[in-house]
Structure 1
Amino acid sequence: MTVLAQDDGGNVLLAFQRVAEQQATGVAPLPLALVALWRGDDLLLVRDRRRECWELPGGTIEPGETPRQAAVRELREESGYEAEALVFAGLAHFGLAAPSRAAPSRTEYAAVFTGRAGASHPFTPDAEIATITWWDGTRPLPGRVQVMDVALARLSRTAPPPR
């Protein structure tokens, strides 16, 4: 199996599947929604305090919430941004490394959305997110950048709309 990206913790991005949004929940359980938000050629990244890295805004899909609703909520909560119109780009398929040798590794899926930056509210750091940045993909950032998220952002930006 081809690995699209791998982080320093041994987690891998195994695939990016372009499926219609209506079909996404039928492919696999979706615990996560991620957002690749663009302003020109710059990508929005948030600095997660617990993981100590720059990553895409996103998080857990709450009970009764659709992946799209979770993406909109997480984007607003983590960055203060609203998207002009989020587009469902596809499903990310991850292979997650075991935290210890006693526990097996597992796979997980995430709904990935992309869009252009719309209105914003002032960003306020909180217990989860320390800061945000618009990243051009080349400028060095202080600390670690989640390479799987960057790969997903690039894939989602070039994803043709599913039929």
Structure 2
Amino acid sequence: MEILNVEKLIGDFEVMTKDAENVQRETLKMILEENGCAEYLQNMGLNGRTDPESFKACVPLFIYSSKQSKTKGGLFAGTATTNVFRNSQFKKAMTAMQSECCSPDEPNPELADLIEKKCSRLSNWYGLIPELFPNVKYIYGIMTGSMEPYLKKLRHYAADVPLISADYGSSEG
């Protein structure tokens, strides 16, 4: 069984994301080369061409952000988590799972004092996350697209804790 090397994983991710446009172009080219004979692409008039420019010229791209689309199941298409968080069953499950340690019914002055003491030692809250959660190994989340502007602040709060994003959501044209 292969052991996960977090440093290598993060390094590989950083290499791939330094030139996201080129990575996307190469990925599209690879997909087109492997699927160039697909009926869908043939019907679009590609006639075996596998370059991204021909694809963009022949295949209509959906770029109308103001138009809300529905999935076959009737849900509005949105971000990766929008429909999950808005779902009433999800909300009920989250309420049922809450425990005293994460959602107390009454104030805990001792804990509040401890948190205040830990936060007051920090410089501009740098390293807040590992200070409050000393057993943290990594932070997992979506860190691309509309979440990218928050990445610098998250890095500040996380200090040296690795940030991991296994999902890549793209809205680039």
TM-score, normalised relative to structure 2 = 0.17
TM-score, normalised relative to structure 1 = 0.17
Q: Say which structure, 1 or 2, has more relative contact order (CA 8 Å, 6+ apart).
A: 1
Rg larger for: 2
**Higher helix proportion, which one?**
2
